Amino acid sequence: MKMKRKLIFTTLLFLIILSVPLSLFSQDFEIEGTVLVKYLGNAANITIPAGVRAIGVNAFRGNTSLRSVTIPAGVTSIGNNAFYECRRMTSVSIPSGVTSIGNHAFYECSSLTSVTLPSSLNSIGDMAFAACGSLSSITIPSGITSIGNGAFMLCEKVTRISISSSVTSLGNYAFSRCTSLTSVTIPANVISIGNYAFNNCTSLRNVTISEGVRSIGSRAFSFCGSLTGITIPASVTSIGGGAFAYCDNLKSIEADIQNNAYSSVEGILFNKNITVLTQYPAGKQEANYTIPASVVSIGEAAFAGCDTFISITIPDSVTSIRDSGFAGCGGLANITIPSTVTNIGDSAFSLCRNLRTIVVSKMTIAGRDAFPANAQITYSD
């Protein structure tokens, strides 16, 4: 009888063990001190053991079984590549207390539909949520001061981004190719908008740049084809080359009259004293344009994507044309560059598919691929 009871007990224990997910066994977690170094199991839904304070580099990298993970209170950091390419993971709960999310931490978690970031968080690493193609909205809570390079790039279903007033910088490519994003407000505490930060956000129609922002990086809003107008606040002192290039529907760029660095003339952006033409909005849809006689330099990508131009008159006051200055002006058939122009930048007339005749001085120094290969160049002296 005693042997029978022992057999029954052993059988029940075995059945109980079989019913418990593998992830609950400590051998599925490689833990050193308080750092979760590696998850070795294959369960769909897991809870990280209590006592873990950090999720280490590559801890769950490439796990294709994982559907959801619960991170316990007490964890303060999520390391680089921690959940890299966990493509089937749909949800993650990040508790209050986590202060940092490392580079590529959730890169290409393509099934991740939502994520809640705690107010304890103060930094989001480079490419942290890049290519999370199922995310529909992003809320950056108060506490975060920096958003890393490419942090949310290629989040193609995101329609809404809420950036808290604690953020001071948006990294390069931070939200690039968020192609469903329709509107964004850059709060006053943001000092800098990185290069290509919103590049190729093709559905972006409304952008509000708050007073307080100081710099807008190169190509920051390039290829935002739905953008129709933009206002540059008085606080902005630096705008990178081609910040609004190839915005096909952009009809006007207006600088605040109190801005000491930039001014606007008929919706065209210049430096304050109108000696540098900074950006001509591609959506103005004009066939002919004469550059003002005060201009001495045509800025980087200043006319990029202005596909409707048939002719552009460059005055003798101009001495330089920066890189990609007229790139993508597909309607131009010929151009006369005055002898006063001594420098023409790289790719200055690239993608000018109809440009056949160019008149230029022999003394002018032209950069790499400055002119289309099929254009006939005539020297004026």
List pLDDT tens digits, range 223-246. Answer: 999 999 999 999 999 999 999 999
- The mean pLDDT value for 101-110 works out to 97
**Distance, first Cα to last Cα, the chain:** 115
Q: Is the pLDDT of residue 204 over 90?
A: yes
- The mean pLDDT value for 278-307 works out to 96
Domain assignment present for residue 314? The answer is yes
Cα separation of 80 and 283, whole Å?
42
Q: Is the pLDDT of residue 13 over 80?
A: no
- The mean pLDDT value for 262-281 works out to 98
Q: Is the pLDDT of residue 16 over 70?
A: no
pLDDT of residue 6: 54
Residue 139's Cβ-side half-sphere holds a number of Cα atoms within 13 Å equal to: 8
Cα separation of 220 and 173, whole Å?
8
Domain assignment present for residue 120? The answer is no
25 or 216, which is more confident?
Answer: 216
Domain assignment present for residue 127? The answer is no
Q: CATH number for the domain including 381?
A: 3.80.10.10
> What residue spans of the chain are helical by DSSP H?
2-19
Helix, strand, or coil here: 46? strand
Q: What percent of the chain has pLDDT over 90?
A: 85
Q: Is the pLDDT of residue 222 over 50?
A: yes
Domain assignment present for residue 259? The answer is no
Question: Where is average pLDDT lowest: 18-27, 185-194, 300-309, 360-369?
Answer: 18-27
pLDDT of residue 21: 40
- The mean pLDDT value for 341-346 works out to 97
pLDDT of residue 114: 84
Domain that holds residue 379: 286-381
Compute φ and ψ for 218, nearest 5 degrees.
Answer: -60, 135
Domain assignment present for residue 258? The answer is no
pLDDT of residue 331: 94
Cα separation of 357 and 142, whole Å?
56
- The mean pLDDT value for 181-196 works out to 96
What's at 152, amino acid-wise?
A: F
- The mean pLDDT value for 126-155 works out to 94
- The mean pLDDT value for 325-352 works out to 96
Cβ atoms of 372 and 366 within 8 Å: the answer is no
Domain assignment present for residue 169? The answer is no
303 falls in which pLDDT band (50, 70, 90)?
A: very high
20 or 117, which is more confident?
Answer: 117
Cα separation of 277 and 271, whole Å?
7
**Which tens digit of pLDDT belongs to each residue from 29-74?**
999 999 999 999 999 999 999 999 999 999 999 999 999 999 999 9
Q: What percent of the chain has pLDDT over 70?
A: 93
Count of C-beta atoms within a 10 Å radius of residue 262: 23
How many domains, in total, are found in the chain?
1
- The mean pLDDT value for 198-214 works out to 97
Cβ atoms of 287 and 308 within 8 Å: the answer is yes
pLDDT of residue 380: 85
17 falls in which pLDDT band (50, 70, 90)?
A: very low
Q: Is the pLDDT of residue 157 over 90?
A: yes
pLDDT of residue 133: 95
Domain assignment present for residue 142? The answer is no
20 or 307, which is more confident?
Answer: 307
Cα separation of 313 and 271, whole Å?
19
Domain assignment present for residue 378? The answer is yes
Cα separation of 315 and 338, whole Å?
7
Strands 54-55 and 183-186: unpaired
Q: Is the pLDDT of residue 194 over 60?
A: yes
Q: How does the average pLDDT of the chain come out, rounded?
A: 92
Cα–Cα distance list, 195 to 171, 217, 290 (Å): 7, 4, 30
- The mean pLDDT value for 84-91 works out to 95
Q: Is the pLDDT of residue 292 over 80?
A: yes
